[in-house]
Amino acid sequence: MSRPQLKPGPLPKSCLTCRQRRKKCDLTRPCCERCLRGGFKCLGYTNHELRGGAHQEEPATPIPSQSRPVPSTVLASRSRSNPVGFNPEQSLTVSQNCQHPNHTCAGGCLAPSTFKSLHPVLTHWVNDGERSFEAALDAQACKSPSNGMIHIMCASIPPSVDATKIIEERRVINTIYEYQMQRVTYWFTVPPVSVRDSMINRLQNSKTTIWAIYLGTNLFRELGEDPRGAGVVRCINWIDKLEQRFSSYFHNSSTLNDAADCLLAELELAFLRFATINIVSGYAMIQKALPKFLFLVAADPSLYVEHPSGNLVVSLPRVLGASQYELKRFIIYDIATALVLGTPPLVEYGCDCECNPASHGLEWIHGVPVALVETISQVNSWRAGSRVAPLDDWRNLERRVLAWEPQPVVVEGDEIGTESVARLAVQEGWRHVALIYIYMGMSGASSHDSRVQTSIRQIVQLGETVANLPIGVHMFVHCVMVGLGARYEKHRSLVWKRLLSFKGTHIWFFQGREFCPVLDHLWHGVGAGGAPVTWDDYVRSRCTVLPV
């Protein structure tokens, strides 16, 4: 007697990750936002979508049919792996009539829920005939198991649907999504919806940024597989080629739109240089981007003010409150490099008004509170020679930092727990970074000053809270500060170990291993045996070991 054939029960709707964690999934496509907020890699909904066409939940997915196979040329295009054919002079073009966005945006950050709105734009880009760049960098991406499934599904698409367009569109969307997955784990927090939406507006008219993101995606993928492999070297070589091409756009056009696009793309390339080559290479990229930054600021009189000395300076509060993301990102890089390298900032900033304490639109990436960004910038300016109030007395800055109170970072749907505590620890750590910089970099105190040692102990304790969490990458500058003021071997050993952990994809901006020789030179030189050191001693060690 044959057994009756049982009908399958209802399909689970949750993503694989939420099912494994036994959490309630928010069902966001193509990736669950709850997973992103929690720092987990969403495994998607693939397993139950493949069980039958009747259960497809996205109406945009074509219904299988046996009408027409995909041309062999389409399938072959996915397996191209020779990068020799890529010529950036021929394959990369920029629209001359793009609209400049009026919203804050974030380089490379796209929430899964916003991907659908990108479909028409991305389809237009890949249909412009600019596929050779993808062919040059996508040798590894074509090996993904999901790509084979895409071809199987598209092999029987009705004749009315352009199979080539679907495959190419899906590939670009997957690339951007992969970039987000590579970096979002190490961001301070998930970006707000308003920032995600503005990024869509930004990408719609910035091919240069998309190419930089595409390069970053492949580069971080290669770093994850083999940090010393040929794929990493190949991607690094493309950084120089794209940089040359982006610069030519600005010189050939010099419009505000093109300057903004090129600046944003060059800052993305600078980050890739920081992450894969060294801080000196990235710093050189920031220097090359300076003319575009000044070009954009000069076009808006509200962004600069007259200094008491008669010079025009960039208004830090106004730029941080402006809508142009590329300007704010440049400032953060300029301030951060001046801090850790001990160099004068590339731009002279003025603080003619109070910064908005809420947020400057970048805190969700790097975690530095806006009030402390302003203070660190002011110490940079003092060290560069400015003595305008409140820089005439370091106690003014000290009082402001001591009075500052952390602003809780509210994430939609976030649960109070380890992540919230970790974010507060990073913010409080920045307070002590600013205090050490004021004491050692401005007032002339040595590392043996009791106030410096108190802040060092506080940072060490706060660092233990985030040591084993992805958000721990935001303690990079904290580690450098502890290292230059550390008197005891236990603190120096801890700093050395932590700095070596900042590598590959696990970075804030800069690689930690570059600063180990700098601190080693300081510890075995002026600071030998736990002797007191000054900020100028640190700068001299940096100049000796890591010249720029």
Q: Is there a domain that residue 481 lies in?
A: yes
What pLDDT is attached to residue 216?
Answer: 81
Q: 262 in a domain, yes or no? A: no
Both 115 and 241 in a single domain?
yes
> Which DSSP state fits 40?
P
**Cα–Cα nearest to 376, from 403, 339, 407, 342:** 339
In this structure, the answer to whether residues 478 and 434 fall within a common structural domain is yes
Same domain? 106 vs 227: yes
Say if 268 falls within a structural domain: no
Asked if 55 and 73 sit in the same domain, the reply is: no
The answer to whether residue 272 is domain-embedded is no
The set of residues, in sequence order, having a beta carbon less than 8 Å from that of 14 and lying 6+ positions away, is: 24, 25, 27, 32
- Residues 160, 89 share a domain: yes
Instruction: Give the pLDDT of the chain (548 residues) as one tens digit per residue.
Output: 555 554 555 567 788 888 877 788 888 776 787 777 666 777 777 654 434 443 333 333 333 333 333 333 332 333 333 333 333 333 333 333 333 333 333 333 333 333 334 334 333 433 443 444 444 444 444 444 444 433 443 444 444 444 444 445 455 556 555 665 656 666 667 666 666 666 656 665 677 877 887 888 788 788 877 877 888 888 888 888 888 888 776 676 668 888 888 898 899 899 989 988 899 999 999 999 999 999 999 999 999 998 877 788 999 999 988 888 889 999 999 999 999 999 999 999 988 777 776 655 667 677 788 889 999 999 999 999 887 777 888 999 999 999 998 876 655 555 556 777 888 889 999 999 999 999 999 999 999 999 999 999 999 999 988 888 888 888 999 999 999 999 999 999 999 999 999 887 777 889 999 999 999 999 999 999 999 999 999 999 999 999 99
Within a domain: 473: yes
**Do 67 and 165 have their domain in common?**
yes
* CATH number of the domain encompassing residue 26: 4.10.240
Residue 413 lies inside a defined structural domain of this protein? no
CB-side exposure of 457: number of CA atoms within 13 Å? 7
Regarding whether 315 and 380 lie in a shared domain, the answer is yes
Same domain, 136 and 42: no
pLDDT reported for residue 200: 58
Instruction: Give the pairing of strands 312-315 and 349-350.
Output: parallel
Say yes or no: 67 and 153 in one domain.
Answer: yes
User: Domain range spanning residue 238?
Assistant: 62-249
Task: Give the predicted TM-score (pTM) of the model.
Answer: 0.70
Closest CA to 475 of 188, 97, 153: 188
User: Does residue 266 form part of some domain?
Assistant: no
Give the ranges where 113-226 is alpha helix by DSSP (H). 119-126, 132-137, 145-154, 163-184, 193-203, 207-225
> How are the residues of the chain apportioned to helix, strand and coil, as percentages rounded to the nearest 5?
60, 0, 35
Total domains in the fold of the chain: 4
User: 304 and 370: one domain?
Assistant: yes
Alpha helices in 316-406 (DSSP H): 316-320, 325-341, 363-366, 370-383, 394-403
Question: Do 72 and 185 share a domain, yes or no?
Answer: yes
For residue 125, give Cα distances in angstroms to 120, 122, 211, 310: 9, 5, 11, 47
Looking at residue 292, its pLDDT comes to 92
321 shares a domain with 193: no
Q: For residue 129, is it within any domain?
A: yes
**pLDDT at residue 450, rounded to an integer:** 97
Task: Take residue 201 and report the two structure tokens written for it.
Answer: 């507006």
Nearest to 408 by CA among 421, 418, 399: 421
